[in-house]
Structure 1
Amino acid sequence: MKKLVVAGLLVLLAACAGVPVSTDYSQDFDFSNVSSYAWLLPAKHSNPEVDNDLVRARVVDAVDAQFTAKGLSQVSDASKASVLVSYQLGQEDKIAIDNFGSWYTHFGYYPCYRCGYRPGYGYFGHSHFYDDDIWVRNYKESTLMIDVIDPKSKKLLWRGMTKRIIPSLKTPEERRLYVLETVSAILAEFPPGSAVAH
């Protein structure tokens, strides 16, 4: 069982390495003294598809797990916490346009053998060999920001963020693992300077 857990963690770490993360933080704050945290949960997103009770529970559980692994203790009294933690979720519809060039461009000549056909595509007519192939794809991009906040001044101390194309997630377990992977990648950068170079 222990070997399975270790193998699972190695797979998760490998996946996290491919998640693009950007961070920003206060250079005046001593992050080495952070030992505890309390939640400052944001208002729910206006779009329930983006943020609902199930999503919120997955994000909170993933953050708790990562902070616990880093040795931070969660406290219920925000005034006794070293820092506060919050998050923001976003989702945006995107369009990608890919231009693959024409049949002529790819091969450098006009293929007259069975000119009306393209292998695997069927009949398009002669003129199509000179047309560009433009594919339009619609997809959704998710944004997750995790904020670490000063409990006294309520000023932002650290922010980690990633934007990812949302894959097809069919089961609750797939959604949980997607959130865990995303949160793990972001918090690998906390505190500043803690990320292990790959």
Structure 2
Amino acid sequence: MNKFRSLVFGVLVAVLLFGCADLPVNTDYAVDYNFSQINSYGWLPGPEAKGGSATDLHNTELMHVRYMAAINQQLGLKGLQLRNATDKPDVLVVYHLGSKDKTVVDSFGSWYSHFGYYPCYHCDHRPGFGHMHFHESDLWVREFTEDSVVIDIIEAESRKMLWRGSVQRIQPVLQTPEERNAYVSETVAAILAAFPPGSRQGE
């Protein structure tokens, strides 16, 4: 039974990650700054470093721990050392979370709009022909939650913004801690793949 559960979890995580493979990451940075001189980082002290107030399941203390761990992991893979703010790191890191419920209405038109006033001579073979809705527009309503994740890199001494990476993505159904871990890791890895500037292909 345990092997079966592990297999099912592995499949679920693979599906989750595959569906989020090419996230549209937006970046901006100070073009006059030499990013190669960054060797260490610290977390910006204060409430900002906790992602703001907890207003939904995406923005809680548990998710805060996941995001910090994922950011630490990715920056560590880039060779940056984590230091306390009192140890004078080169840069400071802070992230922000946000979620917004959205509704999208798609209109696919009627048979008239697809085929003209006289759509065909064999419309009796078309699905739905003869029913009242055949000549009406098809409206599909989709409701979803869009998550926004922003990671900022700030110069420690001047507190000047050096780099920002962000992504907006549709929040999938996350029912287990393992699924949430995979979701956070995927999101953070996608954003920080573009740090420092030029790390991502095409930049």
Identify whether the pair has TM-score above 0.5, normalized to the shorter chain.
yes
Q: Where in structure 2 are the equivalents of 1:2-41 lying within 5 Å? A: 17-40=21-44, 41=49
User: What is the aligned counterpart of 1:95 among 103, 126, 137?
Assistant: 103
The one of 154, 157, 166 equivalent to 1:152 is 157
Percent identity, aligned pairs only, is: 45
CA pair 124-113 structure 1, distance change in 2 beyond 3 A: closer
C-alpha distance in structure 2 between counterparts of 1:124 and 1:90, whole Å:
44
Distance across 2 between alignment mates of 1:17 and 1:30: 30
58 and 142 in structure 1: CA distance in 2 versus 1, 3 angstrom threshold: same
TM-score (norm 1): 0.81
Match of 2:147, SS state, is strand
What amino acid is the match of 2:124? Answer: Y
Distance across 2 between alignment mates of 1:176 and 1:156: 28
Partner of 1:63: 71
Q: Deviations over 1:57-108 (max 9, x none)?
A: 1101110110011000001134520100000000011111111111343455
Where do 5+ consecutive residues of structure 1 fail to align? 1-9
TM-score (norm 2): 0.80
Aligned-residue RMSD, C-alpha: 2.8
What is the rounded CA distance, in whole Å, between the counterparts of 2:72 and 2:150 in structure 1?
A: 15
Residue ranges of structure 2 left out of the alignment (5+ in a row): 1-13
Task: Say whether the 8 Å CA contact 1:38–1:78 is kept in structure 2.
Answer: no
| Structure 1 residues 60 and 193, CA gap change in structure 2 (3 angstroms) | same
| 1:189 and 2:194 correspond | yes
Are residues 1:113 and 2:132 paired?
A: no
When the two structures are aligned, how many residues end up with a matched partner? 183
Where does residue 138 of structure 1 map in the other structure?
143
- Inter-CA distance 11–153: structure 2 relative to 1 (3 Å threshold): farther
